[in-house]
């Protein structure tokens, strides 16, 4: 049923737009958003896209190891969501974390250095791709055990409320992760105790090679909130950064005003394989499906809307490519020229010994 709705949405959007994305983005544009902010968002999404493409290339060259999960296709979720919070707010996610880290302001050079296992990386080479952390930026990690971070997000929100603060925590969750126990325990706790956490399901339609309908009894994932009487919303046009922003902003405002949590389902799509070691398509999804979804590319949709609104010209986008390429090149240079962690790093940070904070 959900799948049918989805494809109808897609067909509707594709058929009714000469300029792709005009229908869904127009009504969502918040007039309060300054043009500068919108252009910054575009640049950020482009940076995430190009950063991931570079990561794929470096992985192919054997410079990045282990599991590496790329964010291509999901950029509007990251930028739209994090555009709705302040630097002091918290973000926590699973292992597909490069894009969200970039949106949270983590230095992309340090992220790439981390992927290369360098001492200048976000975690000194300890965590790798799946475990990007940045205390200063309130980026509480990449977490590689599915569901592991979901209750932790509730705990972070608990601390905010405990101290009487208005800081919220955005917690990103895969569609597959909504089937694990911690998801349900956390939703109950957050709703019961009114914790200012916004759970954001990045429904990219597959958990590894398993389609949502093959793993979840409820296909409309946001409806899982009903069991906990939690505020919830679905964003079908998750390729539209403005639509994402609007939904997340409403949830954040609500959390700040009432301490109440929300569950948002943002429908999106991952262009690449689950990780760099998995196929883009195969038994679980067809090439055609991937190609069709790519027609609603978050970057293209956003660029079209910026042009239509007269906020950016072709020249702007050409320059943006150049600027972003320079940033990515700088990341590569920084990462490649950074040293490996020294041998004694192995024994550091096993127990906390520097005194409290």
Partner 1 sequence: MAVVSIREALNQAMDEEMTRDERVFLMGEEVAQYNGAYKVSQGLLQKFGPRRIIDTPIAEAGFAGVGIGAAMVGLRPIVEFMTWNFSLVAYDQIVNHAAKMLSMSGGHFHVPIVFRGPGGAAHNLGATHSQALESIYAHIPGLKVVMPSNPRDAKGLLKTAIRDDNPIIFIESEVMYGEKGEIPDGEYTIPLGVGEILREGTDVTVVSWSKILQHVTVKAVQRLAEEGISVELIDPRTIKPMDWELIFASVRKTNRLVIVEEGWPFAGVGAQIVDEVQKHCFDDLDAPVERVTQEDVPLPYAHNLEVSSLPNIQRVIRAVRKAMYLD
Ligand X SMILES: Cc1ncc(C[n+]2csc(CCOP(=O)(O)OP(=O)(O)O)c2C)c(N)n1
Residue 96 interacts with which of Mg ion, ligand X, partner 1, none, CB < 5 to 8 Å by class: ligand X
* Sign of the alpha-carbon dihedral angle for 230, 262, 28, 304: negative
Shorter beta-carbon distance to Mg ion: residue 109 or 222: 222
Is residue 129 a contact partner of residue 351, using CB atoms and an 8 Å limit?
no
- Which residues in 197-216 contact Mg ion (CB under 5 A)? 204, 207
Is residue 23 a contact partner of residue 284, using CB atoms and an 8 Å limit?
no
User: Which two structure tokens, joined as six digits, stand for 73?
Assistant: 């296709």
Nearest residue to ligand X, scored by beta-carbon proximity = 174
Instruction: Candidates 7-15, 19-27, 144-152, 219-227: pick the segment binding partner 1 (CB under 8 A).
Output: 144-152
Residue 238 interacts with which of ligand X, Mg ion, partner 1, none, CB < 5 to 8 Å by class: none
Shorter beta-carbon distance to partner 1: residue 11 or 213: 213
Among the residues of 163-204, which ranges form H helices? 181-192
User: Which two structure tokens, joined as six digits, stand for 347?
Assistant: 């024994």
CB of 207 to partner 1, least distance (A): 6
Report the C-alpha gap between 271 and 294 in whole angstroms: 7
Quick one: how many helices (H) and strands (E) in the chain?
Answer: 13, 7
Closest C-alpha to 104, from 64, 136, 139? 139
Say which DSSP state 208 is in.
T
Contact flag: residue 24 with partner 1 (CB under 8 A): no
* Sign of the alpha-carbon dihedral angle for 92, 273, 271, 112: positive
Burial of 242 (0-12, 13-18, 19+ CB in 10 A): buried
Residues contacting ligand X: total by CB under 6 A: 14
Report the C-alpha gap between 191 and 225 in whole angstroms: 9
- Which residues in 284-343 contact partner 1 (CB under 8 A)? 284, 340-341, 343
Shorter beta-carbon distance to partner 1: residue 14 or 211: 211
CB of 124 to partner 1, least distance (A): 8
Say which DSSP state 339 is in.
P
* Sign of the alpha-carbon dihedral angle for 321, 327, 329, 332: negative
Instruction: Candidates 40-48, 119-127, 196-204, 258-266: pick the segment binding partner 1 (CB under 8 A).
Output: 119-127
Which of 5, 159, 192, 208 contacts partner 1 by CB under 8 A? 208
Contact flag: residue 268 with Mg ion (CB under 5 A): no
- Which residues in 130-149 contact ligand X (CB under 6 A)? 144-146
How wide is the angle at C-alpha 309 spanned by C-alphas 307 and 314, nearest 5°?
A: 15
Instruction: Candidates 33-41, 110-118, 152-160, 161-169: pick the segment binding partner 1 (CB under 8 A).
Output: 110-118
Say which DSSP state 238 is in.
T
Is residue 187 a contact partner of residue 226, using CB atoms and an 8 Å limit?
no
- Count how many residues are written for the chain: 357
Residue 214 interacts with which of partner 1, Mg ion, ligand X, none, CB < 5 to 8 Å by class: partner 1
Report the C-alpha gap between 34 and 338 in whole angstroms: 38
Residue 179 interacts with which of ligand X, partner 1, Mg ion, none, CB < 5 to 8 Å by class: partner 1
CB of 150 to ligand X, least distance (A): 11
Which of 22, 23, 66, 317 contacts partner 1 by CB under 8 A? 66
Residue 283 interacts with which of ligand X, Mg ion, partner 1, none, CB < 5 to 8 Å by class: partner 1
Residues that bind Mg ion (CB under 5 A): 174-175, 204, 207
Residues that bind ligand X (CB under 6 A): 96, 144-146, 174-177, 202, 204, 206-208, 274
Residues that bind partner 1 (CB under 8 A): 65-67, 114, 117-119, 123, 125-131, 144-148, 176-177, 179-181, 207-210, 214-216, 283-284, 340-341, 343, 345-347, 350
């Amino acid at each position: 049923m959900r799948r049918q709705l989805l494809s109808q949405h897609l067909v509707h959007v594709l058929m009714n737009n000469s300029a792709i994305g005009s229908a869904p983005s127009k009504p969502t544009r918040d007039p309060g958003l300054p043009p500068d902010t919108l252009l910054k968002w575009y640049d950020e999404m482009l940076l995430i896209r190009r950063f991931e493409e570079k990561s794929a290339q470096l992985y192919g060259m054997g410079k990045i190891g282990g599991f590496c999960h790329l964010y291509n296709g999901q950029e509007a979720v990251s930028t739209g969501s994090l555009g709705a919070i302040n630097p002091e707010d918290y973000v926590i996610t699973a292992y597909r974390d490069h894009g969200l880290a970039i949106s949270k302001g983590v230095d992309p050079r340090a992220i790439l250095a981390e992927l290369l296992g360098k001492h200048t990386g976000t975690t000194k080479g300890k965590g790798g791709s799946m475990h990007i952390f940045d205390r200063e930026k309130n980026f509480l990690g990449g977490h590689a055990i599915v569901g592991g971070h979901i209750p932790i997000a509730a705990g972070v929100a608990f601390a905010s409320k405990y101290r009487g603060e208005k800081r919220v925590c955005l917690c990103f969750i895969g569609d597959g992760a909504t089937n694990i126990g911690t998801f349900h325990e956390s939703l109950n706790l957050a709703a019961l105790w009114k914790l200012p956490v916004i759970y954001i399901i990045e429904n990219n339609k597959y958990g590894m090679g398993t389609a949502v309908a093959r793993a979840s009894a409820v296909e409309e994932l946001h409806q899982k909130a009903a069991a906990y009487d939690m505020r919830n919303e679905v964003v079908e046009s998750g390729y539209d950064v403005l639509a994402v922003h609007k939904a997340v902003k409403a949830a954040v405002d609500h959390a700040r005003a009432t301490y109440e949590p929300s569950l948002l389902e943002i429908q999106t799509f991952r262009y690449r394989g689950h990780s760099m070691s998995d196929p883009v398509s195969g038994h679980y999804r067809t090439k055609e499906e991937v190609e069709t979804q790519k027609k609603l590319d978050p970057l293209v949709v956003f660029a079209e809307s910026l042009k239509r609104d007269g906020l950016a010209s072709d020249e702007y986008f050409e320059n943006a490519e150049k600027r972003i390429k320079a940033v990515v090149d700088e990341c590569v240079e920084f990462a490649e020229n950074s040293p490996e962690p020294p041998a004694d790093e192995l024994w550091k940070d096993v127990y906390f010994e520097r005194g409290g904070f």
